[in-house]
Chain A
Protein backbone atom coordinates (compact mmCIF):
# COMPACT_ATOMS: atom_id res chain seq x y z
CA UNK A 1 0.00 0.00 0.00
CA UNK A 2 1.38 3.38 -0.90
CA UNK A 3 1.91 5.96 1.80
CA UNK A 4 1.86 9.17 -0.20
CA UNK A 5 2.11 11.50 2.76
CA UNK A 6 4.60 9.57 4.82
CA UNK A 7 7.39 11.83 3.69
CA UNK A 8 5.47 15.02 4.31
CA UNK A 9 6.69 15.51 7.82
CA UNK A 10 6.94 19.26 7.61
CA UNK A 11 10.38 19.21 9.19
CA UNK A 12 13.71 17.58 8.69
CA UNK A 13 12.98 14.77 11.14
CA UNK A 14 12.03 11.36 9.74
CA UNK A 15 8.37 10.43 10.11
CA UNK A 16 7.49 8.44 13.16
CA UNK A 17 6.47 4.91 12.20
CA UNK A 18 4.65 4.39 15.47
CA UNK A 19 4.54 6.31 18.78
CA UNK A 20 5.77 3.07 20.36
CA UNK A 21 9.22 4.22 19.18
CA UNK A 22 9.05 7.02 21.73
CA UNK A 23 9.15 4.56 24.65
CA UNK A 24 12.33 2.86 25.76
CA UNK A 25 12.63 -0.91 26.14
CA UNK A 26 11.94 -0.88 29.88
CA UNK A 27 8.82 1.24 29.44
CA UNK A 28 7.52 -1.04 26.68
CA UNK A 29 8.15 -4.14 28.76
CA UNK A 30 6.48 -2.67 31.82
CA UNK A 31 3.46 -1.59 29.79
CA UNK A 32 3.12 -5.04 28.26
CA UNK A 33 3.35 -6.67 31.71
CA UNK A 34 0.63 -4.36 33.04
CA UNK A 35 -1.70 -5.19 30.15
CA UNK A 36 -1.10 -8.91 30.76
CA UNK A 37 -1.90 -8.53 34.46
CA UNK A 38 -5.08 -6.65 33.61
CA UNK A 39 -6.19 -9.40 31.22
CA UNK A 40 -5.50 -12.11 33.82
CA UNK A 41 -7.54 -10.25 36.45
CA UNK A 42 -10.45 -10.01 34.02
CA UNK A 43 -10.42 -13.76 33.42
CA UNK A 44 -10.34 -14.36 37.17
CA UNK A 45 -13.27 -12.01 37.75
CA UNK A 46 -15.34 -13.86 35.15
CA UNK A 47 -14.65 -17.21 36.81
CA UNK A 48 -15.25 -16.04 40.36
CA UNK A 49 -18.43 -14.12 39.62
CA UNK A 50 -20.33 -16.73 37.62
CA UNK A 51 -22.74 -17.71 40.40
CA UNK A 52 -23.36 -14.27 41.88
CA UNK A 53 -26.99 -13.28 41.66
CA UNK A 54 -28.48 -9.99 40.52
CA UNK A 55 -31.82 -9.09 42.04
Chain B
Protein backbone atom coordinates (compact mmCIF):
# COMPACT_ATOMS: atom_id res chain seq x y z
CA UNK B 1 0.00 0.00 0.00
CA UNK B 2 1.26 3.46 -0.81
CA UNK B 3 0.80 6.07 1.86
CA UNK B 4 1.03 9.66 0.74
CA UNK B 5 2.61 12.13 3.10
CA UNK B 6 1.59 15.73 3.36
CA UNK B 7 4.11 18.53 3.37
CA UNK B 8 4.74 18.06 7.11
CA UNK B 9 5.47 14.39 6.78
CA UNK B 10 2.17 13.26 8.33
CA UNK B 11 0.22 10.63 6.47
CA UNK B 12 -2.74 12.38 4.84
CA UNK B 13 -5.17 9.62 5.63
CA UNK B 14 -4.01 9.13 9.19
CA UNK B 15 -4.82 12.43 10.82
CA UNK B 16 -7.34 15.19 10.58
CA UNK B 17 -7.49 18.45 12.52
CA UNK B 18 -10.81 20.25 12.92
CA UNK B 19 -11.62 23.58 14.50
CA UNK B 20 -14.70 23.46 16.70
CA UNK B 21 -15.97 27.03 16.81
CA UNK B 22 -19.52 26.98 15.51
CA UNK B 23 -22.63 24.83 15.86
CA UNK B 24 -22.00 23.75 12.28
CA UNK B 25 -18.51 22.48 13.22
CA UNK B 26 -19.98 20.35 15.99
CA UNK B 27 -22.82 19.15 13.77
CA UNK B 28 -20.30 18.07 11.14
CA UNK B 29 -18.32 16.15 13.73
CA UNK B 30 -21.49 14.43 14.89
CA UNK B 31 -22.43 13.54 11.33
CA UNK B 32 -18.97 12.14 10.61
CA UNK B 33 -19.93 8.81 12.22
CA UNK B 34 -23.09 6.77 11.94
CA UNK B 35 -24.16 4.88 15.03
CA UNK B 36 -27.19 3.02 16.26
CA UNK B 37 -27.87 4.29 18.89
CA UNK B 38 -26.26 7.68 18.27
CA UNK B 39 -27.01 9.03 21.73
CA UNK B 40 -23.77 7.88 23.47
CA UNK B 41 -21.61 9.57 20.82
CA UNK B 42 -23.84 12.64 20.79
CA UNK B 43 -23.60 12.95 24.58
CA UNK B 44 -19.81 12.55 24.45
CA UNK B 45 -19.64 15.51 22.08
CA UNK B 46 -21.93 17.55 24.34
CA UNK B 47 -19.61 16.83 27.26
CA UNK B 48 -16.48 17.74 25.27
CA UNK B 49 -18.09 20.98 24.14
CA UNK B 50 -19.24 21.92 27.66
CA UNK B 51 -15.75 21.12 28.95
CA UNK B 52 -14.33 23.72 26.59
CA UNK B 53 -13.11 21.81 23.52
CA UNK B 54 -12.07 24.17 20.73
CA UNK B 55 -10.41 21.72 18.36
CA UNK B 56 -10.11 18.00 17.75
CA UNK B 57 -7.33 15.90 16.32
CA UNK B 58 -8.64 12.71 14.71
CA UNK B 59 -6.21 9.85 14.38
CA UNK B 60 -7.41 7.23 11.90
CA UNK B 61 -6.46 3.56 12.24
CA UNK B 62 -5.47 4.12 15.84
CA UNK B 63 -4.24 0.98 17.58
CA UNK B 64 -6.44 0.91 20.65
CA UNK B 65 -5.80 -2.02 23.00
CA UNK B 66 -9.47 -2.34 23.89
CA UNK B 67 -10.69 -2.28 20.30
CA UNK B 68 -7.93 -4.69 19.26
CA UNK B 69 -9.09 -7.12 21.95
CA UNK B 70 -12.62 -6.91 20.56
CA UNK B 71 -11.32 -7.28 17.03
CA UNK B 72 -9.56 -10.52 17.94
CA UNK B 73 -12.51 -11.90 19.94
CA UNK B 74 -15.33 -10.76 17.68
CA UNK B 75 -14.84 -8.58 14.62
CA UNK B 76 -12.22 -10.78 12.93
CA UNK B 77 -14.76 -13.62 13.03
CA UNK B 78 -17.57 -11.73 11.32
CA UNK B 79 -18.43 -12.40 7.68
CA UNK B 80 -17.93 -8.77 6.53
CA UNK B 81 -14.45 -7.29 6.55
CA UNK B 82 -14.00 -4.99 9.53
CA UNK B 83 -11.00 -2.66 9.95
CA UNK B 84 -8.60 -3.59 12.72
CA UNK B 85 -8.00 0.02 13.76
CA UNK B 86 -10.23 2.60 15.43
CA UNK B 87 -10.44 6.38 15.19
CA UNK B 88 -9.28 8.40 18.19
CA UNK B 89 -10.63 11.89 18.74
CA UNK B 90 -8.46 14.02 21.00
CA UNK B 91 -10.03 17.29 22.11
CA UNK B 92 -8.04 20.43 22.99
CA UNK B 93 -9.07 23.69 24.61
CA UNK B 94 -7.52 25.85 21.88
CA UNK B 95 -7.03 25.86 18.14
CA UNK B 96 -4.46 23.47 16.72
CA UNK B 97 -2.97 23.89 13.27
CA UNK B 98 -2.04 20.88 11.22
CA UNK B 99 1.55 22.06 10.89
CA UNK B 100 1.85 22.21 14.70
CA UNK B 101 1.07 18.53 15.24
CA UNK B 102 4.66 17.45 15.80
CA UNK B 103 5.31 20.37 18.15
CA UNK B 104 2.08 21.46 19.81
CA UNK B 105 2.01 24.82 21.63
CA UNK B 106 2.93 24.76 25.32
CA UNK B 107 -0.03 25.26 27.62
CA UNK B 108 -2.38 23.39 25.31
CA UNK B 109 -4.85 21.52 27.51
CA UNK B 110 -6.45 18.19 26.59
CA UNK B 111 -10.16 18.03 27.42
CA UNK B 112 -10.37 14.30 26.75
CA UNK B 113 -10.56 11.64 24.08
CA UNK B 114 -13.12 9.36 22.42
CA UNK B 115 -12.23 6.16 20.61
CA UNK B 116 -14.59 5.37 17.74
CA UNK B 117 -15.04 1.74 16.75
CA UNK B 118 -15.74 0.97 13.08
CA UNK B 119 -18.99 -0.63 14.23
CA UNK B 120 -22.39 1.04 14.03
CA UNK B 121 -23.98 -0.84 16.91
CA UNK B 122 -21.31 0.25 19.35
CA UNK B 123 -19.64 3.37 18.10
CA UNK B 124 -18.02 4.65 21.29
CA UNK B 125 -15.04 2.68 22.58
CA UNK B 126 -12.63 3.65 25.36
CA UNK B 127 -13.31 7.25 26.31
CA UNK B 128 -12.19 9.62 29.03
CA UNK B 129 -13.63 13.13 29.05
CA UNK B 130 -13.40 15.88 31.63
CA UNK B 131 -16.74 16.25 33.43
CA UNK B 132 -18.85 19.21 32.29
CA UNK B 133 -18.28 22.22 34.58
CA UNK B 134 -21.72 22.03 36.20
CA UNK B 135 -21.04 18.46 37.36
CA UNK B 136 -17.31 18.72 38.03
CA UNK B 137 -17.69 19.09 41.79
CA UNK B 138 -20.17 16.19 41.92
CA UNK B 139 -17.89 13.62 40.24
CA UNK B 140 -15.99 11.69 42.91
CA UNK B 141 -14.49 8.80 40.93
CA UNK B 142 -12.42 10.64 38.33
CA UNK B 143 -8.96 9.33 37.51
CA UNK B 144 -6.14 10.74 35.44
CA UNK B 145 -5.35 9.14 32.09
CA UNK B 146 -2.38 9.85 29.85
CA UNK B 147 -2.63 10.46 26.12
CA UNK B 148 0.35 10.39 23.78
CA UNK B 149 0.10 12.20 20.46
CA UNK B 150 3.17 12.13 18.22
CA UNK B 151 5.47 11.84 21.21
CA UNK B 152 3.74 14.56 23.20
CA UNK B 153 2.14 13.70 26.49
CA UNK B 154 -1.18 15.06 27.71
CA UNK B 155 -3.31 14.22 30.72
CA UNK B 156 -7.04 14.22 31.22
CA UNK B 157 -8.96 13.69 34.46
CA UNK B 158 -12.38 12.11 34.14
CA UNK B 159 -14.37 8.92 34.59
CA UNK B 160 -13.76 6.23 31.93
CA UNK B 161 -16.71 5.49 29.65
CA UNK B 162 -17.49 2.92 26.97
CA UNK B 163 -20.53 1.81 24.97
CA UNK B 164 -21.34 -1.89 24.50
CA UNK B 165 -20.93 -3.43 21.04
CA UNK B 166 -24.14 -5.55 21.46
CA UNK B 167 -22.53 -8.85 20.47
CA UNK B 168 -19.40 -9.52 22.47
CA UNK B 169 -20.21 -7.19 25.35
CA UNK B 170 -23.48 -5.94 26.75
CA UNK B 171 -24.10 -3.26 29.35
CA UNK B 172 -22.84 -5.58 32.11
CA UNK B 173 -19.40 -5.98 30.53
CA UNK B 174 -19.20 -2.31 29.52
CA UNK B 175 -20.08 -1.24 33.08
CA UNK B 176 -17.62 -3.69 34.62
CA UNK B 177 -14.91 -2.38 32.31
CA UNK B 178 -15.65 1.24 33.38
CA UNK B 179 -15.17 0.26 37.03
CA UNK B 180 -12.05 -1.77 36.29
CA UNK B 181 -10.33 0.79 34.04
CA UNK B 182 -10.93 3.37 36.78
CA UNK B 183 -9.20 1.06 39.29
CA UNK B 184 -6.36 0.42 36.84
CA UNK B 185 -5.75 4.13 36.38
CA UNK B 186 -5.91 4.57 40.16
CA UNK B 187 -3.12 1.99 40.42
CA UNK B 188 -5.14 -0.68 42.24
CA UNK B 189 -5.05 -3.34 39.49
CA UNK B 190 -3.41 -4.07 36.17
CA UNK B 191 -5.31 -3.04 33.07
CA UNK B 192 -7.58 -5.53 31.33
CA UNK B 193 -8.84 -4.99 27.76
CA UNK B 194 -12.60 -5.00 27.39
CA UNK B 195 -12.85 -8.33 25.57
CA UNK B 196 -11.49 -10.04 28.71
CA UNK B 197 -14.80 -9.19 30.41
CA UNK B 198 -16.58 -11.52 27.99
CA UNK B 199 -13.92 -14.08 27.09
CA UNK B 200 -12.99 -14.84 30.71
CA UNK B 201 -16.54 -14.98 32.11
CA UNK B 202 -17.35 -18.33 33.69
CA UNK B 203 -19.23 -20.45 31.12
CA UNK B 204 -20.34 -23.01 33.68
CA UNK B 205 -22.64 -20.52 35.41
CA UNK B 206 -23.97 -18.90 32.20
CA UNK B 207 -27.68 -19.30 31.63
CA UNK B 208 -27.43 -19.44 27.88
CA UNK B 209 -24.93 -18.91 25.08
CA UNK B 210 -21.90 -16.77 25.70
CA UNK B 211 -21.91 -15.45 22.12
CA UNK B 212 -23.77 -13.41 21.20
CA UNK B 213 -23.75 -12.22 24.78
CA UNK B 214 -26.92 -11.38 26.65
CA UNK B 215 -25.12 -10.02 29.68
CA UNK B 216 -23.65 -11.59 32.79
CA UNK B 217 -25.24 -13.10 35.86
CA UNK B 218 -24.35 -11.78 39.28
CA UNK B 219 -22.31 -14.93 39.88
CA UNK B 220 -20.38 -14.48 36.64
CA UNK B 221 -19.72 -10.84 37.32
CA UNK B 222 -18.51 -11.49 40.85
CA UNK B 223 -16.18 -14.33 39.86
CA UNK B 224 -14.87 -12.35 36.88
CA UNK B 225 -14.07 -9.25 38.91
CA UNK B 226 -12.63 -11.41 41.66
CA UNK B 227 -10.24 -12.96 39.12
CA UNK B 228 -9.39 -9.43 37.96
CA UNK B 229 -8.34 -8.47 41.53
CA UNK B 230 -11.36 -6.31 42.20
CA UNK B 231 -13.81 -8.53 44.11
CA UNK B 232 -17.18 -6.78 44.26
CA UNK B 233 -19.42 -6.22 47.26
CA UNK B 234 -23.05 -7.01 46.50
CA UNK B 235 -26.17 -5.26 47.82
CA UNK B 236 -29.80 -5.81 46.93
CA UNK B 237 -32.67 -3.36 47.03
CA UNK B 238 -35.03 -4.32 49.83
CA UNK B 239 -32.13 -5.62 51.96
CA UNK B 240 -29.99 -2.51 52.17
CA UNK B 241 -28.19 -2.13 55.51
CA UNK B 242 -28.79 0.95 57.60
CA UNK B 243 -26.31 1.57 60.42
CA UNK B 244 -27.65 3.05 63.62
CA UNK B 245 -30.11 2.20 66.35
CA UNK B 246 -33.87 1.94 66.23
CA UNK B 247 -34.28 2.76 62.56
CA UNK B 248 -37.71 1.79 61.21
CA UNK B 249 -37.81 0.05 57.81
CA UNK B 250 -38.48 2.46 54.92
CA UNK B 251 -42.04 3.47 54.17
CA UNK B 252 -43.44 1.11 51.54
CA UNK B 253 -41.46 -1.96 52.55
CA UNK B 254 -44.73 -3.84 53.21
CA UNK B 255 -46.58 -2.53 50.16
CA UNK B 256 -45.65 -5.30 47.75
CA UNK B 257 -44.10 -2.68 45.46
CA UNK B 258 -40.65 -3.41 43.97
CA UNK B 259 -37.96 -2.58 46.57
CA UNK B 260 -36.37 -0.25 44.03
CA UNK B 261 -39.33 2.08 44.51
CA UNK B 262 -38.95 2.45 48.28
CA UNK B 263 -35.51 1.35 49.59
CA UNK B 264 -33.93 4.79 50.02
CA UNK B 265 -31.19 3.25 52.17
CA UNK B 266 -29.39 2.54 48.89
CA UNK B 267 -28.52 6.25 48.68
CA UNK B 268 -26.30 6.11 51.76
CA UNK B 269 -24.79 2.80 50.69
CA UNK B 270 -23.80 4.20 47.29
CA UNK B 271 -22.44 7.42 48.80
CA UNK B 272 -20.05 5.48 51.08
CA UNK B 273 -18.33 3.98 48.04
CA UNK B 274 -18.48 7.13 45.94
CA UNK B 275 -16.90 9.00 48.87
CA UNK B 276 -14.07 6.49 48.52
CA UNK B 277 -13.66 7.07 44.78
CA UNK B 278 -15.16 3.68 43.79
CA UNK B 279 -17.74 3.64 40.96
CA UNK B 280 -20.96 1.80 41.81
CA UNK B 281 -22.47 -0.66 39.31
CA UNK B 282 -26.28 -0.62 39.38
CA UNK B 283 -28.45 -3.39 37.95
CA UNK B 284 -32.12 -2.95 37.03
CA UNK B 285 -34.30 -5.71 35.63
CA UNK B 286 -32.89 -5.27 32.13
CA UNK B 287 -29.98 -2.84 32.25
CA UNK B 288 -26.77 -1.96 34.07
CA UNK B 289 -25.02 1.38 34.47
CA UNK B 290 -22.43 3.04 36.68
CA UNK B 291 -22.72 5.78 39.29
CA UNK B 292 -19.66 8.02 39.35
CA UNK B 293 -20.53 10.80 41.79
CA UNK B 294 -23.20 12.71 43.63
CA UNK B 295 -24.09 16.16 44.87
CA UNK B 296 -26.34 17.62 47.56
CA UNK B 297 -28.93 20.29 46.98
CA UNK B 298 -31.95 21.75 48.73
CA UNK B 299 -35.17 20.22 47.39
CA UNK B 300 -38.62 20.85 48.81
CA UNK B 301 -38.39 19.93 52.49
CA UNK B 302 -35.12 18.08 52.13
CA UNK B 303 -32.01 20.20 52.69
CA UNK B 304 -29.74 17.30 51.69
CA UNK B 305 -31.30 15.94 48.50
CA UNK B 306 -28.87 13.65 46.68
CA UNK B 307 -28.53 13.73 42.90
CA UNK B 308 -26.22 11.04 41.50
CA UNK B 309 -24.13 11.20 38.34
CA UNK B 310 -24.38 8.22 35.98
CA UNK B 311 -22.45 6.74 33.07
CA UNK B 312 -24.96 4.80 30.96
CA UNK B 313 -23.34 2.96 28.06
CA UNK B 314 -26.51 3.38 25.97
CA UNK B 315 -27.05 7.06 26.72
CA UNK B 316 -23.63 8.51 27.41
CA UNK B 317 -21.42 9.85 30.19
CA UNK B 318 -22.18 12.25 33.05
CA UNK B 319 -25.97 12.07 33.25
CA UNK B 320 -27.98 13.10 36.29
CA UNK B 321 -29.95 10.62 38.41
CA UNK B 322 -32.52 12.80 40.04
CA UNK B 323 -34.52 10.31 42.10
CA UNK B 324 -33.35 6.73 42.49
CA UNK B 325 -36.81 5.55 43.59
CA UNK B 326 -38.47 6.89 40.42
CA UNK B 327 -35.51 6.87 38.09
CA UNK B 328 -36.13 9.03 35.04
CA UNK B 329 -33.44 10.94 33.18
CA UNK B 330 -34.25 14.60 33.92
CA UNK B 331 -32.92 15.80 30.55
CA UNK B 332 -34.37 13.23 28.14
CA UNK B 333 -37.29 11.77 30.11
CA UNK B 334 -36.00 8.22 29.60
CA UNK B 335 -37.46 5.96 32.29
CA UNK B 336 -35.22 3.38 33.95
CA UNK B 337 -36.80 0.42 35.75
CA UNK B 338 -36.58 0.02 39.52
CA UNK B 339 -33.06 -0.66 40.74
CA UNK B 340 -32.46 -4.25 41.84
CA UNK B 341 -28.82 -4.70 42.76
CA UNK B 342 -25.74 -2.72 43.53
CA UNK B 343 -22.26 -4.12 42.95
CA UNK B 344 -19.10 -2.31 43.96
CA UNK B 345 -15.74 -3.66 42.75
CA UNK B 346 -13.20 -2.84 45.46
CA UNK B 347 -9.57 -3.71 46.24
CA UNK B 348 -8.81 -7.21 47.55
CA UNK B 349 -7.94 -6.17 51.07
CA UNK B 350 -11.08 -4.15 51.76
CA UNK B 351 -12.82 -6.85 53.78
CA UNK B 352 -14.70 -4.91 56.41
CA UNK B 353 -17.98 -3.53 55.12
CA UNK B 354 -18.53 0.19 55.68
CA UNK B 355 -21.94 -0.27 57.32
CA UNK B 356 -20.40 -2.37 60.10
CA UNK B 357 -17.71 0.24 60.73
CA UNK B 358 -20.26 3.05 60.68
CA UNK B 359 -22.65 1.23 62.99
CA UNK B 360 -19.98 0.87 65.65
CA UNK B 361 -18.65 4.40 65.15
CA UNK B 362 -22.14 5.85 65.54
CA UNK B 363 -22.03 4.57 69.12
CA UNK B 364 -18.37 5.14 69.92
CA UNK B 365 -18.01 8.69 68.62
CA UNK B 366 -20.72 10.37 70.76
CA UNK B 367 -19.59 8.35 73.79
CA UNK B 368 -15.94 9.28 73.25
CA UNK B 369 -16.80 12.93 72.59
CA UNK B 370 -18.72 13.05 75.85
CA UNK B 371 -15.83 11.37 77.70
CA UNK B 372 -13.32 13.76 76.11
CA UNK B 373 -15.26 16.93 76.83
CA UNK B 374 -13.64 17.97 80.08
CA UNK B 375 -11.74 21.01 81.30
CA UNK B 376 -13.86 23.48 79.34
CA UNK B 377 -13.76 21.57 76.04
CA UNK B 378 -17.08 21.77 74.18
CA UNK B 379 -18.72 18.48 73.21
CA UNK B 380 -19.21 19.35 69.54
CA UNK B 381 -21.08 16.12 68.81
CA UNK B 382 -23.61 16.71 71.58
CA UNK B 383 -24.00 20.27 70.39
CA UNK B 384 -24.65 19.17 66.78
CA UNK B 385 -27.01 16.44 67.98
CA UNK B 386 -29.01 18.99 69.96
CA UNK B 387 -29.43 21.04 66.76
CA UNK B 388 -30.43 17.91 64.80
CA UNK B 389 -27.30 18.55 62.73
CA UNK B 390 -25.23 15.46 63.52
CA UNK B 391 -24.54 13.17 60.55
CA UNK B 392 -21.96 10.50 59.72
CA UNK B 393 -19.93 10.00 56.56
CA UNK B 394 -17.88 6.91 55.77
CA UNK B 395 -15.20 6.34 53.15
CA UNK B 396 -12.27 4.06 52.39
CA UNK B 397 -8.77 5.37 51.84
CA UNK B 398 -5.25 3.99 51.92
CA UNK B 399 -3.47 4.77 55.15
CA UNK B 400 -0.69 6.46 53.17
CA UNK B 401 -3.14 8.83 51.48
CA UNK B 402 -4.93 9.46 54.76
CA UNK B 403 -1.73 10.40 56.54
CA UNK B 404 -0.36 12.40 53.62
CA UNK B 405 -3.52 14.50 53.37
CA UNK B 406 -3.75 15.27 57.08
CA UNK B 407 -1.61 18.37 56.64
CA UNK B 408 -4.16 19.81 54.21
CA UNK B 409 -6.96 19.71 56.77
CA UNK B 410 -6.79 23.35 57.67
CA UNK B 411 -6.51 23.94 61.37
CA UNK B 412 -5.45 20.45 62.43
CA UNK B 413 -3.52 20.55 65.72
CA UNK B 414 0.13 19.53 65.19
CA UNK B 415 -0.02 17.00 68.03
CA UNK B 416 -3.15 15.35 66.57
CA UNK B 417 -1.51 15.08 63.17
CA UNK B 418 1.58 13.57 64.79
CA UNK B 419 -0.45 11.00 66.75
CA UNK B 420 -2.39 9.95 63.66
CA UNK B 421 0.69 9.79 61.45
CA UNK B 422 2.54 7.64 63.99
CA UNK B 423 -0.45 5.29 64.36
CA UNK B 424 0.01 1.81 62.93
CA UNK B 425 -2.69 1.17 60.35
CA UNK B 426 -3.72 -1.44 57.78
CA UNK B 427 -2.99 -0.58 54.13
CA UNK B 428 -6.65 0.33 53.60
CA UNK B 429 -8.82 1.87 56.31
CA UNK B 430 -12.46 2.85 56.66
CA UNK B 431 -12.88 6.32 58.11
CA UNK B 432 -16.16 7.32 59.78
CA UNK B 433 -16.56 11.06 60.19
CA UNK B 434 -18.97 12.77 62.53
CA UNK B 435 -20.27 15.75 60.56
CA UNK B 436 -21.90 18.97 61.66
CA UNK B 437 -24.48 19.43 58.87
CA UNK B 438 -24.86 23.14 59.52
CA UNK B 439 -21.15 23.66 58.92
CA UNK B 440 -21.27 21.44 55.82
CA UNK B 441 -24.10 23.46 54.28
CA UNK B 442 -22.01 26.61 54.54
CA UNK B 443 -19.00 24.77 53.07
CA UNK B 444 -16.91 25.17 56.20
CA UNK B 445 -14.75 22.39 57.65
CA UNK B 446 -17.41 20.16 59.19
CA UNK B 447 -15.71 17.05 60.63
CA UNK B 448 -16.06 17.17 64.42
CA UNK B 449 -14.93 13.64 65.24
CA UNK B 450 -13.50 10.66 63.45
CA UNK B 451 -13.07 6.90 63.92
CA UNK B 452 -10.64 4.90 61.77
CA UNK B 453 -11.08 1.16 61.22
CA UNK B 454 -8.81 -1.65 60.04
CA UNK B 455 -10.21 -2.71 56.64
CA UNK B 456 -9.00 -6.29 57.20
CA UNK B 457 -11.03 -6.73 60.39
CA UNK B 458 -14.25 -8.75 60.58
CA UNK B 459 -17.74 -7.33 60.14
CA UNK B 460 -18.68 -8.79 63.52
CA UNK B 461 -15.85 -6.96 65.31
CA UNK B 462 -14.63 -3.90 63.38
CA UNK B 463 -11.07 -3.16 64.48
CA UNK B 464 -10.77 0.40 65.75
CA UNK B 465 -7.36 1.94 65.02
CA UNK B 466 -7.91 5.51 66.20
CA UNK B 467 -10.63 7.85 67.32
CA UNK B 468 -10.66 11.58 68.01
CA UNK B 469 -13.40 13.86 69.21
CA UNK B 470 -13.89 16.55 71.82
CA UNK B 471 -10.56 17.20 73.48
CA UNK B 472 -8.88 13.82 73.11
CA UNK B 473 -7.43 11.30 70.71
CA UNK B 474 -7.16 7.55 71.28
CA UNK B 475 -4.82 5.40 69.18
CA UNK B 476 -4.62 1.61 69.34
CA UNK B 477 -1.56 -0.52 69.16
CA UNK B 478 -1.84 -3.54 66.90
CA UNK B 479 -3.41 -5.65 69.64
CA UNK B 480 -6.34 -3.21 69.78
CA UNK B 481 -5.42 -2.02 73.27
CA UNK B 482 -5.02 1.71 73.78
CA UNK B 483 -1.57 3.04 73.07
CA UNK B 484 -2.41 6.68 73.59
CA UNK B 485 -5.42 8.34 75.08
CA UNK B 486 -4.31 11.91 75.36
CA UNK B 487 -5.64 15.45 75.22
CA UNK B 488 -5.54 17.32 71.93
CA UNK B 489 -7.32 20.27 70.37
CA UNK B 490 -9.27 19.09 67.36
CA UNK B 491 -11.52 21.78 65.95
CA UNK B 492 -13.80 21.11 63.01
CA UNK B 493 -11.58 19.78 60.23
CA UNK B 494 -12.01 19.44 56.48
CA UNK B 495 -13.08 16.03 55.24
CA UNK B 496 -10.70 13.74 53.38
CA UNK B 497 -13.57 12.02 51.56
CA UNK B 498 -13.43 12.71 47.82
CA UNK B 499 -14.37 16.30 47.07
CA UNK B 500 -16.45 16.82 50.21
CA UNK B 501 -16.32 19.90 52.51
Contacts and interface: CB of A to CB of B under 8 A. Distances in A.
Contact of A54 (B215, B367, B486): B215
Given A5-B486, A52-B283, A18 B221 contact: no
A45 B288 contact: no
Given A3-B477, A50-B219, A54-B216, A38 B234 contact: no
Interface in A1-47: 1, 3, 5-6, 8-11, 15-20, 22-23, 27, 30-32, 34-36, 38-39, 41-42, 44-46
Interface of B: 164, 170-173, 175, 207, 213-219, 221, 234-236, 239, 241, 245, 281, 283, 287-288, 340-341, 343, 353, 355-356, 359-360, 363-364, 367-368, 370-371, 374-375, 459-462, 464, 467, 474, 476-487
B295 to A, nearest CB: 26
A53 B486 contact: no
A22 B483 contact: no
B392 to A, nearest CB: 15
A33 to B, nearest CB: 11
B364 A19 contact: yes
Contact of A50 (B173, B217, B343, B371): B217
A3 B151 CA distance: 55
Contacts of B467: 19
A18 B482 contact: yes
Given A34-B359, A50-B218, A54-B281, 12 more contacts: A6-B483, A6-B485, A10-B486, A22-B364, A38-B353, A38-B355, A39-B459, A39-B460, A41-B239, A42-B459, A45-B236, A49-B341
B487 A10 contact: yes
A45 B464 contact: no
Nearest to A8: B486
A49 B236 contact: yes
14 contacts: A10-B486, A11-B374, A15-B482, A22-B367, A23-B367, A31-B359, A34-B245, A35-B356, A41-B239, A45-B235, A46-B234, A49-B218, A52-B341, A54-B215
B234 A49 contact: yes
Interface of A: 1, 3, 5-6, 8-11, 15-20, 22-23, 27, 30-32, 34-36, 38-39, 41-42, 44-46, 48-55
A42 B483 CA distance: 34
B287 A19 contact: no
A11 B487 contact: yes
A36 B460 CA distance: 6
A15 B217 contact: no
Contacts of B288: 54-55
B353 A42 contact: yes
A51 B217 contact: yes
Contacts of A31: 359-360, 363
Given A10-B486, A18-B482, A55 B173 contact: yes
Going nearest first, the 4 A-B pairs with the smallest beta carbon separation are: A55-B215, A55-B172, A54-B172, A55-B170
Contacts of B486: 5, 8-10
A53 B284 CA distance: 9
A8 B462 CA distance: 26
A35 B217 CA distance: 28
A9 B216 contact: no
A32 B460 contact: yes
Contacts of B375: 11
Nearest to B481: A17
A51 B219 contact: yes
Nearest to A32: B460
A38 B341 contact: no
B218 A55 contact: no
Nearest to A37: B241
A35 B294 CA distance: 28
A52 B239 contact: no
B356 A18 contact: no
Given A35-B356, A35-B459, A38-B459, A51 B239 contact: no
Contacts of A49: 218, 234, 236, 341
A20 B234 CA distance: 29
A43 to B, nearest CB: 11
Nearest to A4: B483
A51 B283 CA distance: 13
A19 B359 contact: no
A27 B364 CA distance: 11
A19 B370 CA distance: 11
Contacts of B360: 31, 35
Contacts of A3: 477, 481-483
Given A45-B235, A51-B219, A55-B170, A17 B175 contact: no
A23 to B, nearest CB: 6
B352 to A, nearest CB: 11
B218 A54 contact: yes
Nearest to A45: B236
Contacts of A8: 484, 486
Given A30-B245, A46-B234, A16 B464 contact: no
Contacts of B363: 23, 27, 31
